[in-house]
Amino acid sequence: MDKLADCPCCGGKAEYIGRKMFVIQCQACRIRTQEYRSEHAAAQVWNIRNSIAKEAAEYTALQWRFDKLIQENNVLNERIEGLETDREKQKP
């Protein structure tokens, strides 16, 4: 049997279910794959889905951080512009 990744939704442990057709199901939240003719095929789908979910979460976190950096950059640019304007006003 292939090693199963934890559930992409809740992090719960996954288990094989079936004898002739196989599904992988989370023991905690009960999300499951479709039926497959082999344990290996079901495990591949489960583990790929888990990998995609993790990558999507990482992407979302990076996108959020990028957006925050852009906002911080805009604030700093506004401050610089204000200081430059003040400096211009103080020139004789």
Taking only the tens place, the pLDDT of each residue in 18-38 is 999 999 999 999 999 999 999
- The answer as to whether 68 is a domain residue is yes
**pTM assigned to the model:** 0.57
- The answer as to whether 84 is a domain residue is yes
pLDDT in the model for residue 54: 75
- The answer as to whether 60 is a domain residue is yes
Instruction: Please tell me the distance from the alpha carbon of residue 20 to that of residue 36, in angstroms, as a whole number.
Output: 9
The model's confidence at residue 17, banded by pLDDT at 50, 70 and 90, is very high
- The answer as to whether 39 is a domain residue is yes
**Number of structural domains found in the chain:** 1
Domain of residue 69 covers 14-90
- The answer as to whether 64 is a domain residue is yes
